[in-house]
Amino acid sequence: MTGKTAFETRYGFRRNEVQLANWRESPFNRWSFQNLGELVPTARIAAAPSSVEPPMRDMGGLLDAKVTVASATETVAGFLARSSTDALTIMKGGKTIGDWFAPNMDFGARHIVFSISKSLTAIIAGILEGEGVFDPEAPVTTYMPEAAGSAYGDAKVRHVLDMSVSLDFDEAYLDPESAFARYRRATLWNPGGGTESLRQFILTLQSLDEPHGQTFRYRSPNSDLLGLLLERASGQRFTDLMREKLWLPLGAASEASVGVDMEGTARTAGGISVTPRDLARVGEMMRQGGMANGRQILPEAWVRDTTLTGGSSEAWQRGSMASLFPNGRYRNKWYQTGFENGAYCGIGIHGQWLYVDPRTEVVIAKMSSQPEPVDDPLDIEIVAFFEALSRMV
């Protein structure tokens, strides 16, 4: 039998070419980012059985509209293609005004959001804080005594939430010999995993010679630890927490999923997959001060602290991401842009974004399969694109 399969015709490669060793690489990520469960273990986060997603809403003439990004003018469609976008959903004033999908992604499909998982996990922390179950000012060891011998032994939960743990660990995404590669094996995301659990790995991490709380250091293990702390505090599995506390009250229309390790620990730092519509619903809930479907899901004070008033400017300026948002801050795993319009966002590698502009009442969910995990110049262009788009719609 000769000729291309339907899969190869659509994606440009054969399914058997996608492996655990290359699933985050281009072009394979155009498929794998929507099908994480075929590569690593995942756990379901079910939506309500009666949930129905309204039909796709066409972008209309917006795709042909011109935007100026990085001193060059191009169409919206052109920028979406150039930034390896798989899906885009835009809401304004609480209503979906447009959906766009690349040829490699279908309406209703789930897509991994990588580190926007951190932002979602922090929402669970905010809900439990509001219920009096979880204390952000408590020592980490209150919930996890065995962390005493690690970097977290003298850290507070607040340090974990704000990425200000003085942690001797680098996010070396492309170094196969780094501690980060060992971390990914522990999450079962790289070949050779299954000998060390995520929890075991986290407990080996040690501190730098600096007090906690001084510097914003983007370190993903903090956010996996947060998932474990939420489980310890609540006595519930993370998947049950997310379904009960967020997914059902939000009115999510589709099932979500999260990667798990050899012990079933959820990869809360980066393993959650959702649909673009449901991700946009999270942004709208944040824009509404924690309200959805007439119900206060998340304390309004927590949302305000996270998106507007909380976080340390000094710690952010000492960190490595200040060039993205020169006047920004980081609070509860959300980014404050420091812009006059008060915009804030969740960000994931390879081009995942949830962007909220309170002034224009616009929420933008962008899912992508960018070839590079981190592309700083493109990130700056994407923010400019969102700012232009939020004024246009």
- Which residue numbers are catalytic? 115
HEC per residue, the chain: CCCCCHHHHHHCCCHHHCCCCCCCCCCCHHHHCCCHHHCCCEEEECCCCCCCCCCCCCCHHHHHCEEEECCEEEEHHHHHHHCCEEEEEEEECCEEEEEEECCCCCCCCCEECCCHHHHHHHHHHHHHHHCCCCCCCCEHHHHCHHHHHCHHHHCEHHHHHCCCCCECCCCCCCCCCCHHHHHHHHCCCCCCCCCCCHHHHHCCCCECCCCCCCCCCCCCHHHHHHHHHHHHHHCCCHHHHHHHHHHHHHCCCCCEEEEECCCCCECCCCCEEECHHHHHHHHHHHHCCCEECCEECCCHHHHHHHHHHCCCHHHHHHCCCCCCCCCCEEECCEEECCCCCCCEEEEECCCEEEEEECCCCEEEEEEECCCCCCCHHHHHHHHHHHHHHHHHC
Tokens of 195: 């000998």
CA dist 134 and 124 (Å) reads 10
For residue 76, count other CB atoms closer than 10 A to its CB.
22
